Amino acid sequence: MKSVLLIVAFTLAFTMIFLLDVLGKRRRRRAKYLYKKAFDVFNRINWNMSAAQVKDVFKGREFFDYRERKGILFVGYRDNHNGLDTAVSFCFVNGGERLVRVKFVFFGISKIDVDLIFERLCSLHGLPLPPDRGSEAVWDLKEGFLILRGLGAQVQLILRNKGYEYDGLIQEKPTLGFK
């Protein structure tokens, strides 16, 4: 009887270890996929693009022009990646003539996925600077500032032009304005 219990206990332990390993690999693949999708968007744009050019690059997407103030135009679209609702927004100055920021937002993302995306960013781009910014991590890349911002069940991955500083844009609330 004792040996049967030991065999059952070992079998359960190995099954749990196997399942945790499979789940971990699945989550790492998902984080890699989400990172890749965001960077597929980032790599298709450049800072000299207008709103019309960005819409042309992403043909087939249903764009929303959802807010304009003081010459700043925000356009974006919604998508679904691997079962996760996402939104991509582009911010332009001069009434839509010059791109200054791209924001990729993941809605309903788990803390584990956020941590895995953070680990992926660190492995590819090094440690963020400065080291302690609370729920925000910033990397200084050649293309601009890469910002990972966690807001509960919503996470933003932002690429911002280094040459553009506007406090209203940087401090903007995390809502996207889609209805």
pLDDT tens digits, one per residue of 31-86: 788 888 888 888 899 898 999 999 999 998 999 876 667 778 899 999 987 778 99
For residue 86, tell me if it sits in a domain: yes
3-state helix, strand, coil in the chain (%, to 5): 40, 30, 30
Query: 142 near 148, Cβ under 8 Å?
Result: no
Residue 145 has pLDDT above 80, yes or no: yes
Contacts of 178 (CB under 8 A, 6+ apart): 64, 66, 76, 78, 87
For residue 74, tell me if it sits in a domain: yes
For residue 177, tell me if it sits in a domain: no
pLDDT of residue 55: 93
Count of structural domains, the chain? 1
For residue 96, tell me if it sits in a domain: yes
pLDDT tens digits, one per residue of 107-126: 988 888 888 888 888 888 88
For residue 120, tell me if it sits in a domain: yes
Contacts of 147 (CB under 8 A, 6+ apart): 136, 137, 138, 139, 156, 157, 158, 159, 160
Greater confidence (85 vs 11) lies with 85
Name the residue range of residue 39's domain. 2-170
List C-alpha distances in Å: 120 to 53, 85, 144: 30, 20, 18
pLDDT of residue 75: 92
pLDDT of residue 176: 34
pLDDT of residue 171: 42
pTM (2 d.p.): 0.74
pLDDT of residue 6: 62
